[in-house]
């Protein structure tokens, strides 16, 4: 059972996440041979203020 965790800045629409989940599921099924119904995807939306890159806060 593949579990894919996707961490993003908050603000993506439900439609964007739905399309991304659909395509990640298709890719996982094709590459790993996992049945579609066994692919889990977890979205973690975090405000930019909680991220840092290159030693500096992003938001």
* SS3 assignment for the chain: CCEEEEEEECCCCHHHHHHHHHHHHHHHHHHHCCCHHHCEEEEEEECHHHCEECCEECC
- Return the CATH class of domain 3-57: alpha beta
Catalytic-residue membership of 35: no
Residue ranges of the domains in the chain?
3-57
**pLDDT tens digits, 3-58:** 999 999 999 999 999 999 999 999 999 999 999 999 999 999 999 999 999 999 98
Pairing assessment for the beta strands 3-9 and 40-46 based on DSSP bridges = parallel
Residues in the chain: 59
What stretch of H or E contains 49? Answer: none
Q: Among the options 2, 6, 8, 34, which is catalytic?
A: 2
Check: pTM over 0.75? Answer yes or no: yes
């Amino acid at each position: 059972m593949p579990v894919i965790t996707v961490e993003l800045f908050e603000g993506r629409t439900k439609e964007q996440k739905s399309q991304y989940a659909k395509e990640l599921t298709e890719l996982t099924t094709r590459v790993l041979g996992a049945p579609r119904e066994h692919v889990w995807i977890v979205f973690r939306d975090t405000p930019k203020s909680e991220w840092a890159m290159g030693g500096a806060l992003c938001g």
